[in-house]
Amino acid sequence: MTMTATPLTRFAWLSIAAAILTIGLKSVAYLLTGSVGLLSDAIESLVNLVGAIVALIMLTVAAQPADDDHAYGHNKAEYFSSGVEGGLILIAAASIGVAAIGRLRFPMPIEQVGLGLIVSAFASLINLAVGLVLLRAARQHHSITLEADGRHLLTDVWTSAGVILGIGAVSVTGWQALDPLVALAVAANIVWTGVQIVRRSVAGLMDVALPPGEVDAVKRALARYLEDGVQYHALRTRQSAARRFVSVHVLVPGTWTVHRGHQLLEAVEAEIRRAVPNASVLTHLESNDDPASWKDQGLDRPDEGP
């Protein structure tokens, strides 16, 4: 099944619109208050915008059908999107850290706290709503790009909450250092998010296996057919964004006809596709009476010589 670009790019456009709006609101909040914490929040929203634009491009690429040069489709383009966003998050964290350290060295009073916090809180509500929409769409379409974008927006919400609390604490205690200290905590939180996103992207590009729950679902589907001498081995799985790939060798008695073996494989493949969404299943029929079948289990079959 090939997913069309329309529904996914629609969510990317929603993320872009939210990022533009929140950048404007948080910039206004920073200009009103002079808070480096709110400045860090605005910088992260700028990263959201760049990440959303990259997501739009890569979702469009990923939706393209398989062709002669990309026989397995273009799904892995989504990992480039999430990897770029993770890298941008780390750059933003460094920028926030530099600004916060500078403010620790040269403190400045925060002004118009109430109005600035109201504007920032409104921007956070926008991110919360859009982030939840993106995560729901990610689960529905099995998109790592939308998941990364949605989780980043929700992290932004928690970041904003921390900044608002920090500025509120400054207004109550008068301790100006709280503002840049909160900004440093924000930077640390952003680093954690960025590292996790980059790790997932690298894992996807390295053909990571399906999650344990999905592998167990594949094994349960195969177990339904383990009777009358039927066995299996060389089960391999990998994930490519929304697409899953499953390959397995099915061994049957040597006395079976080709037709009977083919019917079994058709049933096995259908059962696995029902158990794992968006799965491309490849089965290989072997005779369990042939010793060569039991040697063909590794990724690289050993040469047997002349």
**What's the confidence (pLDDT) of residue 38?**
72
pLDDT band at 109; cut points 50, 70, 90: low
pLDDT band at 1; cut points 50, 70, 90: very low
pLDDT band at 232; cut points 50, 70, 90: very high
DSSP-derived secondary structure for 112-151:
SHHHHHHHHHHHHHHHHHHHHHHHHHHHHHT-HHHHHHHH
Tell me how far apart the alpha carbons of residues 287 and 302 are, in angstroms, rounded to a whole number.
Answer: 19
Query: Per CATH, which fold does 5-205 belong to?
Result: Alpha-lytic protease prodomain-like (1.20.1510)
Domain with CATH 1.20.1510.10 in the chain: 5-205
Architecture of domain 212-295: 2-Layer Sandwich (3.30)
pTM confidence score: 0.65
The answer to whether residues 3 and 59 touch, using CB atoms and an 8 Å cutoff, is no
Question: pLDDT for 184-219, tens place per residue?
Answer: 887 787 788 788 878 878 877 777 888 899 999 999
Domain with CATH 3.30.70.1350 in the chain: 212-295
Sheet holding 243-252, edge to edge: 231-240, 243-252, 279-287
pLDDT higher at 159 or 54:
54
Q: Is the predicted pLDDT of residue 180 greater than 70, yes or no?
A: yes
Q: Which of 34-43, 136-145, 239-248, 258-267 has the highest mean pLDDT?
A: 258-267
Question: pLDDT for 260-286, tens place per residue?
Answer: 999 999 999 999 999 998 888 999 999
pLDDT higher at 270 or 179:
270
What is the residue-averaged pLDDT of the chain? 81
